[in-house]
Copies of this chain bind each other. A is one copy, B any other.
Amino acid sequence: MLTITRRATFAAAHRLYRSDWNDARNEAVFGRCANPGGHGHNYVLEVTVGGDLDPETGMIADLKWVKEVMDRHVIDHVDHRNLNADVEILHGVIPTAENLARVFWHRLVGPISEQARLVRVRVQETENNSATYEEP
């Protein structure tokens, strides 16, 4: 199986909390990630795409096109934004790394399927934490 992976970055603010919980419960579950003013990360998004090798071009899909799909469907919506307040595609979603990976997968799987197959979406939050969504 042959895949290509494209990496992109975005900077965003987020806060982990539920408005239907009180502060004590939010802090018990989410710790300092529930601090009222929020915090933020330099996120890394890695998208892995599989498919047949086009014998004429030696490519599965043009990596520039993969980047454009990532920009149009994910990065342009989240970069330099507050993930809790400003991002329609995350409305009603607690912006954990897991949820970002899951939402971004569903944003990308359709557009990528026009030329290839989406295999994996990885969202790295810090040098120590990441979440990955893969096809079943």
Q: Which residues of A contact B (CB under 8 A)?
A: 1-9, 11-14, 16, 18, 29-33, 35-42, 48, 53, 56-60, 62-64, 67, 79-82, 84-86, 93-99, 101-102, 126-136
Contact = CB atoms under 8 A, between A and B. Distances in A.
Contacts of A4: 97-98, 129-132
10 contacts: A2-B132, A4-B131, A11-B41, A12-B40, A35-B86, A39-B40, A40-B40, A53-B98, A58-B98, A60-B98
Nearest to A8: B128
B81 A39 contact: yes
Contact of A13 (B13, B48, B67): B13
Contact of A126 (B11, B53, B86, B133): B11
B2 A101 contact: yes
A86 B119 CA distance: 34
Interface centre among A3, A31, A134 (most CB of B within 10 A): A3
Contacts of A96: 57-59
Contacts of A57: 29-30, 94, 96
Contacts of A80: 32-33, 35, 39
Contacts of A85: 37
